[in-house]
Chains A and B, each alone.
Chain A
Amino acid sequence: MSNPQEIRVLVVDDSPHNLQGVTELLRFQGYHVECAHNGMAALSAVDSFAPDIVLLDVVMPGMDGLEVLRALRGRLEDCVVIVMTGHESLDHAREAMALGASGYVGKPVRWETLENYLNGAIARLQTRKQQKHNARELNNTVETQNQHLLQVLEEMHKQGERMDCIVNGMSDGLVALDRSGRITMLNRRAEDFLGKKFSECAGEKLCSSVSGNVLVEQLRELCRSEETNRTVSFNHEGIRHYRIQLSRMDARNESDIGTVILISDQTDRMELEHFRGTFLSNVAHELRTPVNIVLNYARVLELHSEERTEIREIAHDLEIDGRRLRYLINNFVNVARLSEATASVCCRPTDILKLLRYHIDASRERAEEKGVVVEFESEMESAVVRTDPHLMETAFSALLDNAVRYNRSGGTVTIEFTCDDDLENGWFHVVICNQGEGLPEELQIPQIGRTVMRREARGAGTGLYLASRAVELLGGSLELGRDGRMGTCVRMSIPQHSTSRDIGQMYATC
């Protein structure tokens, strides 16, 4: 706008002499000028010419400058009005200023004075335009941001609805507490479990709420513990079985949620496990009895065979296959039993060395048949630990059986037993090595039982699984080592004090 040609100036004066003089002066300076010789013509020129600047004479016959200003009130945003006045009408000039004029010049108008006023007016116009532009920009930005915010809000609302849908559709009960233990959320299932609507207990302290509800009582107990994560299973009057998982949020977490509790009804699962156990027991019963009959008759046949070699051989074959069936059935039952999520662990003081010796002696019989030597030495007389003897028997029997079964003919099985001195927190270790072909290099313990199939030798590949699962249930670990030697070494490390576990309290097996 600094170029005068871009500035539109309307000159209003009733004196033709003045009008012409000012108009020419401005045109000479390069301004784009229109003129009006009275008030009415000025108003119509404002509409048609849309001036940036109006030079307005105050004293005019008919509609004077002040009336023109009044009529233009409200339309002066886009243009600047400078009034022209003689010394006699200074009061008029002041009134004009009050009506929105930006300034006044004395008559006769001189270029030096007018130029200053024009420059001031142009600067004001530019500022106004800039302000208008900025306001528009700001408006646009605000509008865009508003739209964006609305979208975000809508998305958040949708997300919230989705979360509500998920949380309320969960089959587990979900309870959230704030850092001071007050209830901040219950999903529908939790409302069912606790027998309370969220609206009734929002903000209540769970630990101090009084209730006859057995689950609330359990939750109160749980809340008193300081542990970060805790899972408790319990059954209510032998009918319903529940599991409660409590997780405390990290203190560094900025969320106001302090604790999340998940309650699940395990009754159906427990019943299924119970059914599975019963089924297994029945299947085992049905399979074991015929095998027993085969073994009995094999013995009868053998003792009746006298000198008849064929009969003796048949009896021998029957006996061998009967034994193999027995081994498979027992392994099958053990795998099924130990793979249950609710497999129980019943610990009691046990002389683990005596138990190990017993199984080593039992394995020697089979070893002799294969020409395998079983070596075991221990300076200790006995080692009493707190463990589940049945699980340990399963592990010993499976590993010793494997060590003999998959040894080379004439090979050696070596067994080492060590025990940490610390009786409270110590471990005991059993290492069983053989000289067979060994297990595949890539085999890792977690794969055991899922992928191991002994292809060359007979067997279902269950031995290592059984041992690793038994050790896992006791809180110990099983490692496979090859030590660059031929054969396999299995190292079991088990706490001297294992913890009993009986998740299926409803169907206790200990």
Chain B
Amino acid sequence: MGKPKVLIIDDEPLLVKSTCMALRISGLDARGAPDGLSGLKEAETWKPDIVLLDVMMPEMDGWQVLEQLQETPSLRNTPVVMFTAREYANGKQLARSHGAVDYVPKPFEPVSLIEVIRRYVSSTVPNPG
């Protein structure tokens, strides 16, 4: 079985780059996309095992991308974890009500992010410790 594939959609290039690096060095396969549209394209062609999706993005925000992902038959079952630097009083519930599996507030630590990924990806995710 190959490495679990993680797609990160976020408009902050450095965050995408650094998260991808941190995940790859921990034994995952990670790719990034700088906006919703390219993220959706990447998801359709690359078929990631999990999508990490930022909420606040220009043009198409995270909730809209999530809706599109759910409307795409091939991606409907791909777990999506929302992450955001915005304040939500009840982020987890909000994310779940939109159909995401979880919510991670920024700033997160790579180790805890990997733990979240492990929770939703059935293929072997290396132990972050």
B109 touches A299 (CB 8 A): yes
The CB with the most chain A CB atoms within 10 A, among B14, B85, B90, is that of: B85
What's the dominant secondary structure at chain A's contact region?
A: helix
Contact-size category for B: 20 to 34
In the complex, chain B residues whose CB is within 8 Å of the CB of A389? 90
Contact (Cβ within 8 A) B110 A296: yes
Partner of B14, one of A286, A293, A346, A510: A293
A-contact bits for B18-30, CB 8 A (1 contact / 0 none): 1101100110000
Digitize B63-87: 1 where CB-to-A-CB distance is under 8 Å, 0 elsewhere: 0000000000000000000000111
A85 CA / B106 CA spacing, docked (Å)? 129
Complex Cα distance, B114 from A303, in Å, reads: 14
**Which listed residue, B25, B85, B90, touches A288 by the CB 8 Å rule?**
B85
Residues on A with C-beta less than 8 A from B86 are 281, 284-285
Q: Is the CB of B19 within 8 A of A296?
A: yes
**CB-nearest residue of chain A relative to B90?**
A390
Do B15 and A293 touch across chains, with their CB atoms under 8 A apart?
yes
Which residues of the other chain, B, contact A323 by a CB distance below 8 angstroms? 109
A320 to B: closest C-beta gap in Å: 12
Decide if the interface of chain B is mainly helix, strand, loop or mixed: loop
Q: Are B15 and A299 in contact (CB under 8 A)?
A: no
Q: Which of A289, A297, A303, A319 has the most CB of B within 10 A?
A: A289
Check A303 against B87 for contact (C-beta < 8 Å): no
CA distance A440 to B110 in the complex (A): 39
Residue B107 interfacial (CB < 8 Å): yes
Interface residue ranges, A against B (CB under 8 Å): 280-281, 284-286, 288-289, 291-293, 295-297, 299-300, 303-304, 319, 322-323, 325-326, 329, 333, 337, 344, 346, 389-390, 509-510
In the complex, given contacts A292-B85, A389-B90, what are 11 additional A-B residue pairs having Cβ atoms less than 8 angstroms apart? Answer: A285-B86, A288-B107, A291-B107, A295-B110, A296-B19, A296-B21, A297-B18, A299-B111, A319-B109, A329-B107, A390-B90
- Can you show 13 pairs from A to B with CB atoms below 8 A apart? A280-B87, A284-B87, A289-B12, A289-B85, A292-B18, A293-B12, A293-B14, A293-B18, A296-B21, A297-B18, A300-B25, A303-B25, A346-B89
